[in-house]
């Protein structure tokens, strides 16, 4: 098995955990605060990760360049605004639909990867990505009768448009992070990804602190007061990001993000086995399509 596959699966699991924790924080901290904790409580761990690879692992630090700085800033800003859109979805009634549409990211990431990096997924991979996204769409419509009218209404709903925009901006950030990591002259993808993560999360923390200090200073105090729950978001977020960055240093973004759709399978598995919640036939069919798309991606 190629290394990027288990790393991506771990990233999807940790992302699912982080999203659940952020959903709980959104009500008390607001959109900016709940978005900030992902970076603010995560960047010290990202820096420690780099130092551990350097001092304990014996890996030299890479040489920095302006291309790395530019892609890191683009990726960092894109991820901030994509995260804020996703956190805002938590406050909407049809959150599930919007979140599902944000999972169209693999298709959008494939497009941005082709435009910005010239990466061309194989025909089989393109089919697998489309099958997986079709599964996501089926899940998003599972609570309403399947019809063209309901599909159009779901697609044009406010939460759906925000979800699609979030997926697109996440796609841009993923491509930017891969570009930043590949631009480093370092010892290998693991150290390159770790340095990219440390630099990006540090920049994001500084940017968000300045923004919150300007727009809503009391929000910073709220973030500090909720340090216990916020730290959990930061830890799960930075561990997940470390896995994402490493996987995207090893493989094309479209492939990594397509496999990352397994997050929805984790969500419905936990819903059924842990919380004893019923899963509709449409949701089950959607999960099977996602799994089918993942298997197609891995074996075609």
Closest alpha carbon to 192 in 201, 202, 184: 184
What confidence score (pLDDT) does residue 53 get? 93
What confidence score (pLDDT) does residue 97 get? 56
What confidence score (pLDDT) does residue 21 get? 73
DSSP string, the chain: --THHHHHHHHHHHHHHHHHHHHHHHHHHHHHHHHHHHHHTTHHHHHHHHHHHHHTS-PPPPBP-HHHHHHHHHHHHHHHHHHHHHHHHTTSTTHHHHHHHHTTHHHHHHHHHHHHH-----HHHHHHHHHHHHHHHHHHTTTS---HHHHHHHHHSHHHHHHHHHHHHHHHHHHHHHHHHHHSBSS-HHHHHHHHHHHHHHHHHHHHHHHHHHH-HHHHHHHHHTHHHHHHHHHHHHHHHHHHHHHHHHS-HHHHHHHTTHHHHHHHHHHHHTS-----HHHHHHHHHHHHHHHHHHH-
What confidence score (pLDDT) does residue 132 get? 76
What confidence score (pLDDT) does residue 151 get? 63
What confidence score (pLDDT) does residue 74 get? 96
Low-confidence spans in the chain with pLDDT less than 50: none
């Amino acid at each position: 098995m190629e290394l990027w596959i288990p790393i991506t699966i771990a990233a999807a699991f940790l992302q699912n955990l982080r999203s659940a924790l952020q959903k709980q924080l959104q009500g008390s901290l607001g959109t900016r605060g709940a978005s900030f904790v992902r970076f603010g409580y995560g960047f010290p761990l990202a820096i420690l990760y780099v130092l551990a690879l350097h001092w304990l692992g014996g890996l030299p630090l890479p040489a920095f360049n302006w291309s790395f700085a530019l892609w890191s800033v683009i990726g960092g800003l894109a991820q901030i605004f994509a995260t804020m859109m996703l956190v805002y979805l938590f406050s909407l009634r049809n959150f599930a639909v919007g979140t599902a549409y944000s999972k169209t990211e693999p298709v959008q990431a494939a497009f941005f990867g082709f435009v910005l990096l010239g990466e061309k997924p194989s025909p089989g991979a393109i089919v697998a990505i489309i099958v997986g996204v079709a599964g996501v769409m089926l899940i998003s419509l599972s609570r309403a009768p399947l019809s063209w009218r309901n599909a159009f209404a779901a697609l044009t709903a406010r939460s759906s448009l925000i979800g699609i925009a979030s997926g697109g901006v996440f796609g841009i950030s993923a491509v930017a992070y891969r570009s930043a990591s590949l631009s480093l002259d370092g010892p290998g993808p693991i150290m390159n990804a770790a340095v990219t993560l440390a630099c990006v999360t540090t920049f994001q923390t500084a940017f968000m602190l300045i923004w919150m200090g300007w727009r809503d200073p009391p929000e910073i105090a709220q973030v500090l007061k909720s340090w216990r729950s916020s730290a959990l978001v930061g830890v799960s977020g930075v561990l997940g990001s470390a896995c994402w960055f490493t996987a995207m240093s090893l493989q094309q973004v479209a492939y990594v993000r397509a496999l990352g759709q397994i997050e929805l399978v984790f969500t419905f598995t936990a819903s059924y086995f842990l919380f004893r919640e019923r899963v509709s036939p449409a949701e089950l069919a959607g999960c099977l399509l996602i799994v089918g798309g993942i298997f197609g991606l891995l074996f075609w």
